[in-house]
Amino acid sequence: MTQAPPPTDMHMQRSSRAPEEVAALIGTWLTGEVASDRPVVVEVVGGIDTNGLSSDTLVLDARWTKDGQEQGGRYVTRAAPAPEDVPVFPTYAIQAQGDAIRLVGEITDVPVPAVPFSEPTGSVLGVPFFLMEHVDGLVPPDVLPYNFGDNWFADASREQQRALQDATVDVVARLHAIPDAATTFSFLALDGEGSLNEQHLRRVRTWYEFGAADIGRSPLTERALAWLEANVPTPARPDETVLCWGDARIGNVLYRDFEPVAVLDWEMAALGTREIDLSWMVFAHRVFEALTSMMDLPGMPHVLREEDVLATYADRTGVEIGDLTWYYLLHAAQWCCVFLRTGVRQVHFGEIEQPEDPEGLFHHRVLMEKLLDEVGA
């Protein structure tokens, strides 16, 4: 089949909730949380439109009075999507996300936003959510992707780009250095059967079945899953479990002067192997490079090359990482799940017509087919 290029306007609606209604509900709830002398005033001052396709995210200013003293702050919401808004993931462990961010902030020097408020029951918005303190910074955009050009990261010097890349790999190294992660982050454990790699593969299989149910099955994804299941590698360090950020990529970090000031988006956090995060960081950039190739744009092939990422990681940790092919295909299947679910969402909100072939949604299709051909799948 012929794969259509991505649209030049890649904005996607994420929620049917009215932002002002959300703000009012949060204000009523916060009045009790902070024991305000009068109702908390919450104002919507922005949204997150350039990055993130999953959780509902708003920027809010909240003001209240306690014991006669004016208080308040700027916060970012992190809420599970409503079921009718076509969630990207099968489940949203909002409480676990918030707890992971808090713990990382408490026991490491990895920069994460403070999470002062959380509502895990769904009684306020109909779904669980938490509020993070707002952090000023810049993020390499996803919409349109940073490697399309005409943005602060693409316009930076190669030395600045490499400094940002190395600093982000260093964040991953520090997360992986947390001692006894299996105990500290036990609430992020997957189903516990089989090796860590088998557990992550099973999570992707479940995610695919969830996505295919609404838009149709994908022979390409199933071809990848079959190969992955037949070739699960034994973890290089079988007795080691690390905290995996999960969505480890530069588009999920706020930077100032090319240094990380807030590590964001913990929806895919889990216990796992070092390879999970490092391969995702490299492969996510390759997906964006596939998009620029389709658009006949030069892209940024010098950024996030495997050899550079692994060399920096080895320098920071002393750990040499081996072949990542299996992990790249695992992530290729994950991106299929993302594109299937965001495609269903676009149909739901009337942004696209129901596709005859759901694989037409896979902007990384050529990249994935090349990987499958290379392994003989």
Q: What are the catalytic residues?
A: 247
Residue with tokens 């995210």: 57
Amino acid at position 44, single letter: V
Q: How far apart are CA 286 and CA 303, in angstroms?
A: 10
Nearest CA-CA partner of 139 in 50, 59, 55, 61: 50
Amino acid at position 235, single letter: P
Report strand pairing: 117-119 vs 69-79: unpaired
Q: Phi/psi of residue 44, each to 5°?
A: -80, 120
Radius of gyration (C-alpha) of the chain in whole angstroms? 21
Q: 351: exposed, middle or buried (C-beta count within 10 Å: 0-12, 13-18, 19+)?
A: middle
Say if residues 27 and 39 touch (Cβ distance below 8 Å).
yes
| E strand or H helix at 316 | helix 306-317
| E strand or H helix at 276 | helix 274-294
